[in-house]
Structure 1
């Protein structure tokens, strides 16, 4: 476990993946190397997915080769969307976590991973087995976890039911993901405590997308719900290119840090390196 009560997961992959212009490999790795020195629990650094689907992540293996892991405790997480991605990612010893977006909206699962929920469940089972054999840990995102824009059925029971299925298959880290920014403080405070109290042997996290003006109320609701694993991205960049909305980005990491500091939580972050990363981010995100 991390020495901190909170596991902060910084998500530059999510921030960059929808950018129109390709970010040079050197610049990506330079940015990630700064973030590795800040002291986050985990860095969601890249993805092994089809370069046709997400061109920005085509150089993930090259970026990985340029990362300096010699003096960081931060663990690396890569996103995969199918078995080919799983097989590519597990070859890399440096990667600790494989993340899979498991949508509880059938429409979005098809759009995002080109497979049905049923097929995705079998991918998760295969991934869990390969993770065990290769000393990796699986992180499954319950994507569209707060509702969806497609009219697919959603309620708290459906969320809980899928969480139950995944945990019973052996998933130990489950992150409730708001892919399109439809979460509200009320929804967060309704569903998170249920999952945390029911699945005591699993780590329940949250990956929120939000418009800037709603960020703080969502962070506060997650904190009140007792969540200890929070995904965010520097300056709130990014979002999901498969569910695009220019206003809805990630929760900004600096907002999470500021909120938790104000609550007196010990985060043990190197803020000098963080400020350097903030400056360098201008070159990537403009």
Structure 2
């Protein structure tokens, strides 16, 4: 399949990134950072998660954040829900967002450690939630974690992952994201996987979500692009990771992903400089250096340095 000339990028830092920080970021700072991202050209931002505040206290102010952010009208906001109770709470403020993400892990062990349920139990709940989300006039997206390998079980069969994706699509999900939750993918497998997913799920938006745990995130994104994938998730500043298990570092940085695509003449619609500014501001808020390359080097300008 020909390389896409343009791609969509969803920013997941305000949810996937902030939830993995050891300290709680103030609501004021969250709102300011999200508003900044909204002015960079991003059309999709994942903002909050409706989980129990005692489980992820870093996101306990999600309703307030949703009510206070001020992004352009054409920016679509997403929330993530873990179960029907979370969806009940989200729907109380459904006028503040546009899309709902539901999820499962492809491996039994990771799924149980993450949500304390079997895959079958999670998918039974997801089937009902997907239909409710669609009935509410919202977009339903699905995420399959550990799509490329599980730290507890090892390799996850591609057919198992695609079967779960097919079930999500049949329940009403119009977008399915495949997550490299602990950074176990490699470019060769990413190329084969996304070609198969696009072929298996015509009409469904196929999204790649890579982590940079072992330094292969951008290479995997390139491989997915070359296989025809035109939808990606990333996190400014390379924030994020996975709370299960320890050591699973952040998502690929939005600014690094955009920089790579722009150098390849792949259109993103994003202002790279503004995303870098947002990432540097997040670095200031957190009081520590973040790990994306573009924060340090900035965008390529092709100005020849004086000798």
Find the counterpart in structure 2 of residue 74 from structure 1: 75
Query: Does structure 2 retain, via aligned residues, the 8 Å contact 1:89–1:95?
Result: no
Give the CA deviation at 1:278.
2.4
Give the CA deviation at 1:24.
0.7
Matched, 1:252 2:253: yes
Please give the alpha-carbon distance, in whole angstroms, between the structure 2 residues aligned to 1:37 and 1:72: 11
Give the CA deviation at 1:177.
0.5
Query: Does structure 2 retain, via aligned residues, the 8 Å contact 1:76–1:97?
Result: yes
Please give the alpha-carbon distance, in whole angstroms, between the structure 1 residues aligned to 2:42 and 2:109: 33
Please give the alpha-carbon distance, in whole angstroms, between the structure 2 residues aligned to 1:168 and 1:274: 36
Query: Does structure 1 retain, via aligned residues, the 8 Å contact 2:259–2:272?
Result: no
Find the counterpart in structure 1 of residue 211 from structure 2: 209
Give the CA deviation at 1:191.
1.0
Q: How does 1:45-60 map to 2 (within 5 A)?
A: 45-60=47-62
Please give the alpha-carbon distance, in whole angstroms, between the structure 2 residues aligned to 1:271 and 1:218: 21
Find the counterpart in structure 2 of residue 269 from structure 1: 270
Residue by residue, what CA displacement relative to the aligned partner does 1:198-235 show, whole Å, maximum 9, x if unpaired? Answer: 21111110111113732331121111121111000112
Please give the alpha-carbon distance, in whole angstroms, between the structure 2 residues aligned to 1:229 and 1:158: 22
Please give the alpha-carbon distance, in whole angstroms, between the structure 2 residues aligned to 1:138 and 1:242: 25
TM-score, normalized by length of structure 2?
Answer: 0.86
Aligned residues: 281
Find the counterpart in structure 2 of residue 163 from structure 1: 165
Question: Aligned in 2, Cα 1:221/1:152: closer, same or farther, shift over 3 Å?
Answer: closer
Please give the alpha-carbon distance, in whole angstroms, between the structure 2 residues aligned to 1:188 and 1:159: 13
Query: Does structure 1 retain, via aligned residues, the 8 Å contact 2:255–2:272?
Result: no
Query: Does structure 1 retain, via aligned residues, the 8 Å contact 2:211–2:250?
Result: yes
Identify which of 223, 230, 237 aligns with 2:232.
Answer: 230
Identify which of 35, 57, 60 aligns with 1:33.
Answer: 35
Judge which range, 126-135 or 268-277, deviates more: 268-277
Give the CA deviation at 1:29.
0.8
Query: Does structure 1 retain, via aligned residues, the 8 Å contact 2:148–2:155?
Result: no
Find the counterpart in structure 2 of residue 147 from structure 1: 149
**Bigger Cα Rg:** 2
Secondary structure at 1:45 match in 2: strand
Residue by residue, what CA displacement relative to the aligned partner does 1:255-280 show, whole Å, maximum 9, x if unpaired? Answer: 11011101212222234532431231
Please give the alpha-carbon distance, in whole angstroms, between the structure 1 residues aligned to 2:215 and 2:106: 27
Secondary structure at 1:242 match in 2: coil
What is the Cα-based RMSD across aligned positions, in Å?
A: 1.7
Find the counterpart in structure 1 of residue 197 from structure 2: 195
User: Unpaired segments of 5 or more residues in structure 1?
Assistant: none
Please give the alpha-carbon distance, in whole angstroms, between the structure 2 residues aligned to 1:166 and 1:272: 37
Query: Does structure 1 retain, via aligned residues, the 8 Å contact 2:149–2:185?
Result: yes
Secondary structure at 2:177 match in 1: strand
Give the CA deviation at 1:282.
1.6
Give the CA deviation at 1:17.
0.5
Identify which of 184, 187, 197 aligns with 1:185.
Answer: 187
Find the counterpart in structure 1 of residue 220 from structure 2: 218
